[in-house]
Structure 1
């Protein structure tokens, strides 16, 4: 009997093995197993790129203007240029650690509308509602030309590249859908007028010096490509599309919004935009295709705060109130964004601080200035070296341990302006000496106090204080006396 049972068991086991062999496809356990997460893209030399970015949450130093600062740019010649709403322009030079004041100009009598530099950082110009363009020589920090306009300008941009005989500058009007091209070192008469491209006033003009192509955007959401003077300001031939219908350039029209700011990467292959719908969009320049969209709406921040507290609730409510105030005044439309030298990291201001996003693998690297009590608007990134080597440095040399390069270590610095602040702030890799100290000198007072400040401080010192209580100390104890200011003085 036992042998018979053993035979039956062997037959059953063989049958079950045959059934397993006939089974095709994944088992139930494999079907119910969790799907593997998508692997994160690895950026080559990522560690080196991150080392060349500012890392501190708090600003190291801040410097003053007499009024609210509205514009800030860093040039290829390592000059920092700031402008305030009272029409003043200041030149600063980047040193090995901090910055050094160079020169101060009263550029305009009215608020500066726009300020820009050319592709190599040798020329800079400003425009204002006084209908003038002021042109500056950056290296010699001197004003070299003034162009009088027949209209009120809205935006300005240098539209020349290396080898061009004329340093052309493009200016748009606040009321007309036209772009006027001038010689930046010439007379008041325009060299060329582009009048059949846009139907609404042009908000901004940005020039890609790598491909010699300009991008302009108007208030209706239309974005246009056009070339420089070499090809008579026609549609460029270097792009990989013939019609905008083959691109995503109608993205703003489709969402009933418009671009307010644009920046190019150093290689000219990407550009990023900001818009009133609080979305940051990244495009491929040659194809016009949309590659990334970052939603920075207030609803998104509220959901994030409820899911995981980012800042204290009282501080979050205060910042939300500031954001609503910005929307009413449209000051948030003046905010800008910028790429780092590699073109893989994008910096742009939000209500929580300046976000640093890796657009290669779509990850948030850092939020700079999160604990600070300021709302950043304009940003400018410096990644150069104040003390430069004569020989060229390659990526491999930077990645290697090279003692010879230690003397010329870069000082990555993020400069930014803030809402209703007459200061601009420096975020570096160095922590400020002592934030909580009363005598902390990270806020540099490089401006004389105004007459109003002097009068108010003098009046405050002369005010006679009226006390309502007094204490008489005697050998028998203290006597508390109540004083009434309504009583007349007794002789």
Structure 2
């Protein structure tokens, strides 16, 4: 029961570093203060009745009720705080005409796929806190033909494609037209890193980064967080991930734009401990 899961948490098996845990904890506290959002959370059983699924701080947990253990955690690497979940375990119906259209008339390839017969494709649908979309977890990776596909379409995973709200449009329109840099060079002991700055899409972020750079704020700092094959992080004068502030003397709000996506390498973003807590650190 709950006692087993609490013990696992105390034993430090959440698999989160201190910075990631702090960010998730900040979102968790914000969620706890929203009765409207917490009312959306639910539980879901699989068809066998042996597994229980529910959203938690680390992702969507799949609990084996026979052994009282967490069998799997879905969405651990995602940054969202999931709320409502629904599980589909049926066998999808195959529409041969649709498959023919998708394969552009390749009858041989379509016949080969039809001969295999329909396969079970269990999917978990989930909503997330303060997100206007739902998420799907399945056993298949999203189709991705970025620019180099047969039809040249960019069908990669679109992380941010919501239309801006009226308030967001007004905020962008009211933003000052202060001239900002378009490029920057980050000089390190292992070489130079050339950056492109999106000053129109993220003006406050670019202004903060540029002013810190020109003022020598980043001089001599170390990359205090290095995860091989994933990311590097710097910008903290204390060198441990707990310090740093913006050029305005505190924290500033998040800036998102639907044309900028963070699902591919070589993207630089502000590092923070929760929504609207940006200071000087970036990764």
TM category (shorter chain) comes to 0.3 to 0.5
Q: Which has the higher contact order (CA 8 A, sep 6+)?
A: 1
Task: Name the structure with the higher strand share.
Answer: 1
- Larger CA Rg, structure 1 vs 2: 1
For normalisation by structure 1, the TM-score amounts to: 0.28
